[in-house]
Structure 1
Amino acid sequence: MTTTTPSGRGAPGGFAGAIASEWTKLWSVRAAYLCLLAGLAITGVFTYYYASIARINEHPMEPVGNAAASSAVLSQFAVVILATVTVTSEYATGSVRASLLWVPRRHRVQAAKVLVVAVVSFAVGVVYAVVGTAVAWGAFDGRASFEAGTTLRQALAVGLYLALVAALAVGTAFVTRHPAGALSILVTLLWALPTVLLGVGGPELATVNDSLPHGAGDHFMRAGIGVPYASATAVLIVTAWAAAAHLAGLYVLRRRDA
């Protein structure tokens, strides 16, 4: 099935057309490039700092990939902002009407956005991890271990985590339809609340943090540390949060834009 664009040329229809449209819209604005470059810069600075502190304070040996995994606490907000703006900018400009006109099935619009942003976030997450690991290796100066299999697994884990966070952000943005509202929820969920829980301390609060997206994500991204559950369980927890946000966003999209 094909549709006809205003220029008269054929374009793929259905879900493939929705994906092609979202891909084009994503890279047609400078915000996408700025967000991803900011995430790369944050990763480089954080991993250098992480490894330098470990070297100066003579921390125990750990996998070099832990520096890149730890940097996700900040670099995740590059994809959070990217995913949020992908949705809220259309509501701000009114172009969402055109999107829903061209793709009348609401679930396809949302699924296409989630897929495109998640794939991009996975790819940049792996790049962030590779760059961060390289930066950290020099800064550790012998205070870290390197094993190809572990490092590769951690790089893929960072990519997977950022992809799931991006899906979570898209769903949240469809619920709020406003960047300030979406970012307030996401910053609280992914950074502020975990910081408070771990800062106050206690096994009960630590258990709550382990059920939050970044708490669970940290467990499957990092290596060589004690974890309360298997990596597969941690992935399922983050996936459940992303799925819940996706379903909530789809409910609002169908209810308000029926």
Structure 2
Amino acid sequence: MNDDQGRGTRGGFAGAVASEWTKLWSVRASYLCLLAGLAVTGVFTFYYASIARLNDLPVQPAGNAAAASAVLTQFAVVVLATVAVTSEYSTGSVRASLLWVPRRHRVQAAKALVVAAVAFVAGTAYAVMGTAVAWGPFGGRASFDAGTTLGQVLAVGTYQALVAVLTVGVAFATRHPAGALSFLVTLLWALPSVLLGLGGATLAAVNDRLPHGAGDHFMRVGADAPYTSLTAVLILAAWAAAAHVVGLYVLRRRDA
């Protein structure tokens, strides 16, 4: 077997996915991020439901508490995905990864797939726990329908998975945790907060085209949305795909 054949065998996509899975769970940060997301979900959903009860807000689906908590829990996924990429640049192990899997698009795709799968499972778990935690504090200000709740649980998981793919692309583009996190905090939280805080139909429409604006329409039930759930998912997917393309461009153009 010549060297090219050997490298092709080692660098298969299944092998790349298996390698990324092992690397993800070999660092403590992965567990800490997921546990932090779980803790934030519990605190935020309890607070959200308590405020709804104290302010006597209209009855809403119990899953809305978990959907709303994604504005914070998404950053557990963001940090997880960022570390999965940038830690290899900081230690220099990315060179070994690219030697093992010479086709660079496979490295990025494998990492995105693994992190997205973990984010989906984590997101659904957060949503289930958050809905359960919020039920008591809602004190009658929430309704429960199995079909609606299941849809919201899956929507939260899907949102977190797409945020993970978006993050992987940004992390490969910046190659540095501070740069990636600064951009993502601005895009996913700071910019939407400014746009909604300033108010106005035009700024609200801009926010609706940002990742979390679309995700919020997709995850929450009962609020007026300017487009369908499918459109919201497509907006999220477009952001994730754009980040993935930019990250791949940088990965291919610059040396590790």
**TM-score over 0.5 for the alignment?**
yes
Displacement of 1:12? 6.4
| 1:154 counterpart letter in structure 2 | Q
Q: Deviations over 1:151-210 (max 9, x none)?
A: 000000000000000000000000000000000000000000000000000000000000
Q: Deviations over 1:98-133 (max 9, x none)?
A: 000000000000000000000000000000000000
Q: Distance in 1 between matches of 2:215 and 2:255?
A: 33
Match of 1:182 among 172, 176, 180: 180
Displacement of 1:224? 1.0
Q: Distance in 2 between matches of 1:162 and 1:93?
A: 27
2:178 pairs with 1:164: no
Displacement of 1:225? 1.1
Match of 2:76 among 74, 78, 83: 78
2:137 pairs with 1:139: yes
Which residues of 2 match residues 15-34 of structure 1 at below 5 A?
15-34=13-32
Q: Give the corresponding residue for 2:231.
A: 233
| 8 Å contact from structure 2 (residues 24, 30) kept in 1 | yes
Q: Give the corresponding residue for 1:195.
A: 193
| 8 Å contact from structure 2 (residues 58, 141) kept in 1 | yes
Q: Distance in 2 between matches of 1:193 and 1:13?
A: 40
| 2:185 counterpart letter in structure 1 | V
Q: Give the corresponding residue for 2:220.
A: 222
| 1:250 counterpart letter in structure 2 | L
Which residues of 2 match residues 63-74 of structure 1 at below 5 A?
63-74=61-72
Q: Deviations over 1:62-97 (max 9, x none)?
A: 000000000000000000000000000000000000
Q: Give the corresponding residue for 1:61.
A: 59
Q: Distance in 2 between matches of 1:57 and 1:12?
A: 59
Q: Give the corresponding residue for 2:124.
A: 126
Identity among equivalent pairs (%): 78
| 1:189 counterpart letter in structure 2 | L
Q: Give the corresponding residue for 1:93.
A: 91
Q: Give the corresponding residue for 2:241.
A: 243
Q: Distance in 2 between matches of 1:28 and 1:136?
A: 33
TM-score (norm 1): 0.95
Q: Distance in 2 between matches of 1:91 and 1:250?
A: 15
| 2:158 counterpart letter in structure 1 | L
Q: Deviations over 1:38-78 (max 9, x none)?
A: 00000000000000000000000000000000000000000
| 1:253 counterpart letter in structure 2 | L
Q: Distance in 1 between matches of 2:25 and 2:10?
A: 19
TM-score (norm 2): 0.96
Q: Give the corresponding residue for 1:7.
A: none
Match of 1:37 among 14, 17, 35: 35
Runs of 4+ in 1 over 4 A off after TM superposition: none
Q: Give the corresponding residue for 1:116.
A: 114
Q: Distance in 1 between matches of 2:228 and 2:109?
A: 29
CA RMSD, Structure 1 to Structure 2 (Å): 1.4
Q: Give the corresponding residue for 1:8.
A: none
Q: Distance in 2 between matches of 1:137 and 1:12?
A: 50
Q: Distance in 1 between matches of 2:251 and 2:122?
A: 28
| 8 Å contact from structure 2 (residues 11, 103) kept in 1 | no
Which residues of 2 match residues 144-159 of structure 1 at below 5 A?
144-159=142-157
Q: Matched residue of 1:71: which SS?
A: helix
| 1:121 counterpart letter in structure 2 | A
Q: How many equivalent residue pairs?
A: 250
